[in-house]
């Protein structure tokens, strides 16, 4: 049989590859400590679970869900934006629930990208921005986020030809994999660029509520003019420890939300209503767990940073997301250093090269593992480096 030509350009998905490596090492009897994947280890808050259980038992939720999400969920998302950012959204035309934000990120390319169109992708960045462009027949063009610039986008390095051909510019702050954060000025420059070049500015805000040290992450939609050119993706996954539940959303420009919805409704049948009821409870119920999560991640961040610095790094503390993006010792390749840690320490990290050329020379540590395992992992790394 013959597969479609479009998938020939796809690299292996980074996190699927990491899963395989972890499984292979465990099959060899290695006690693996994985810093590789950003999957919260803490349970979903009990009030959310209780809401889901009650909703699952209700036969009214056993039928097809609405293609566009429950009106109550759309209103809860709009209310969250008003409360958190002071941004007013029309739940009917500017809010679209998603089966996890990854689904919407992929489908956005289908909605906006024709064969040959350019998609401007942050480098380093979440791999799905580029792969979704490829699957839509587009051409991902990398926008450098150099470490020396605090991983801010160098929009002035985008060539005039690529800017003219571009349909989408992606941003993601707090950032995966770098944990970089931004102020309003970065979004203002991006909105100006999008308006100048008549393209869609897409912001992946999955980590917007995971912040530390008094930093409060902004929404793209707080920026003047962003509502006309922007769409923002949100998620319950990291904020409420709900990665497996698959609930996210897209909000912003009515034109962009409608186009994404048109693609989505032709592909799936919406989120199971019981899960939507749980999502409503997450957004409208007690928020104590959000602050508690942030405190756990802050403590783990500090433990990891202090341990790595004692082992020879000179890392600063990121103010958002659930990652630490560390340069490799002596500038060695990210893949070689990741292999060294797995073989000599039984520790798995994500090679920075998997996030783009600018990620080479770095590895990503996730904070989503229990404190004791994190501490043991740091000790193993320090010991392996000392014995090297």
pLDDT at 295: 98
Spell out the residues 6+ positions from residue 115 whose beta carbon is closer than 8 angstroms to its own: 136, 137, 138
Average pLDDT over residues 166-190: 97
Alpha carbons 176 and 39: distance in angstroms, whole number: 13
Asked whether residue 302 falls in the same domain as residue 264, the answer is no
CA proximity to 325, closest of 131, 150, 122? 150
pLDDT at 15: 66
Average pLDDT over residues 28-32: 87
Q: Is 209 a residue whose pLDDT tops 90?
A: yes
Asked whether residue 130 falls in the same domain as residue 268, the answer is yes
Asked whether residue 269 falls in the same domain as residue 367, the answer is no
Question: If you average pLDDT over every residue of the chain, what do you get?
Answer: 95
Report strand pairing: 118-123 vs 33-34: unpaired
Q: What are phi and psi of 55, to 5 degrees?
A: -70, -35
Residue 353: give the domain boundaries. Answer: 5-44+288-387
110-167 pLDDT tens trace: 999 999 999 999 999 999 999 999 999 999 999 999 999 999 999 999 999 999 999 9
Average pLDDT over residues 347-351: 95
Spell out the residues 6+ positions from residue 184 whose beta carbon is closer than 8 angstroms to its own: 218, 222, 223
35-73 pLDDT tens trace: 998 999 999 999 999 999 999 999 999 999 999 999 999
359-377 pLDDT tens trace: 999 999 999 999 999 999 9
pLDDT at 218: 98
Asked whether residue 262 falls in the same domain as residue 361, the answer is no
76-95 pLDDT tens trace: 999 999 999 999 999 999 99
Q: Which tokens sit at 161?
A: 């030809």
Q: Are 221 and 201 in contact (CB under 8 A)?
A: no
Burial degree of 317 (CB within 10 A; 0-12, 13-18, 19+): middle
Q: Against a cut of 0.85, is the pTM above it? A: yes
Q: Are 231 and 202 in contact (CB under 8 A)?
A: yes
CA proximity to 173, closest of 158, 151, 197, 141? 151
Q: Is 10 a residue whose pLDDT tops 90?
A: no
What's the CATH number where 329 sits?
3.90.1150.10
pLDDT at 11: 75
Q: Is the residue at 51 inside a domain?
A: no
Compute how many other C-beta atoms are within 10 angstroms of the C-beta atom of residue 126. 21
pLDDT at 17: 73
Average pLDDT over residues 227-249: 98
pLDDT at 5: 84
Q: Is 20 a residue whose pLDDT tops 90?
A: no
Q: Is the residue at 211 inside a domain?
A: yes
Burial degree of 322 (CB within 10 A; 0-12, 13-18, 19+): buried
Asked whether residue 107 falls in the same domain as residue 238, the answer is yes
Asked whether residue 117 falls in the same domain as residue 244, the answer is yes
Q: How many domains does the chain have?
A: 2
% residues pLDDT > 90 (the chain) = 90
Alpha carbons 325 and 362: distance in angstroms, whole number: 6
Q: Is the residue at 56 inside a domain?
A: no
Q: What are phi and psi of 45, to 5 degrees?
A: -55, 145
Asked whether residue 276 falls in the same domain as residue 296, the answer is no
Asked whether residue 127 falls in the same domain as residue 204, the answer is yes
Q: Is the peptide bond before 274 cis (omega within 30 degrees of 0)?
A: no
Compute how many other C-beta atoms are within 10 angstroms of the C-beta atom of residue 254. 15
What would the DSSP string read from start to end of 95-121? EEEESSHHHHHHHHHHHH--TT-EEEE
């Amino acid at each position: 049989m013959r597969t479609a030509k479009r998938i020939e350009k796809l690299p292996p998905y980074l996190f699927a590859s990491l899963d395989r490596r972890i499984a292979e090492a465990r099959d060899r009897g290695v006690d693996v400590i994985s810093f590789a994947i950003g999957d919260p280890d803490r349970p979903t808050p009990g009030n959310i679970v209780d809401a889901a259980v009650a909703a699952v038992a209700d036969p009214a939720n056993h039928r097809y869900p609405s293609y566009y999400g429950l009106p109550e969920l759309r209103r809860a998302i709009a209310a969250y934006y008003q409360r958190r950012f002071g941004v007013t959204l029309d739940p009917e035309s500017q809010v679209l629930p998603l089966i996890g934000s990854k689904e919407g990120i992929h489908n956005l390319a289908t909605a906006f990208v024709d064969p040959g169109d350019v998609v401007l992708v942050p480098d380093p960045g979440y791999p799905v921005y580029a792969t979704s462009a490829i699957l839509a027949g587009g051409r991902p063009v990398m926008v450098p986020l150099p470490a020396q610039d605090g991983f801010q986008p160098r929009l002035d390095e985008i060539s005039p030809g690529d800017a003219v051909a571009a349909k989408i510019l992606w941003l993601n702050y707090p950032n995966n994999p770098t944990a970089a954060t931004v102020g309003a000025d970065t979004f203002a420059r991006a909105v100006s660029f999008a308006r100048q070049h008549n393209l869609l500015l897409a912001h992946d805000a999955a980590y917007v509520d995971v912040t530390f040290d008094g930093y409060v992450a902004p929404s793209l939609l707080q920026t003047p003019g962003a509502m006309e050119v922007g769409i923002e993706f949100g998620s319950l996954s990291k904020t409420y420890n709900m990665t497996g539940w698959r609930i996210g959303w897209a909000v912003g420009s009515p034109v962009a939300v409608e186009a994404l919805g048109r693609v989505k409704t032709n592909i799936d049948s919406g989120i199971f209503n019981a899960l939507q009821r749980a999502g409503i409870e997450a957004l409208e119920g007690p928020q104590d767990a959000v602050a508690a999560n942030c405190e756990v991640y802050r403590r783990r961040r500090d433990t990891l940073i202090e341990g790595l610095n004692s082992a020879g790094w000179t890392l600063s503390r990121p103010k958002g997301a659930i990652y630490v993006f560390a340069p490799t010792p002596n500038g060695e390749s990210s893949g070689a250093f990741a292999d060294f840690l797995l073989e000599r320490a039984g520790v798995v990290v994500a090679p920075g090269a998997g996030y783009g050329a600018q990620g080479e020379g770095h590895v990503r540590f996730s904070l989503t593992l229990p404190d004791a395992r994190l501490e043991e992992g740091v000790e193993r790394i320090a010991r392996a480096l000392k014995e090297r």
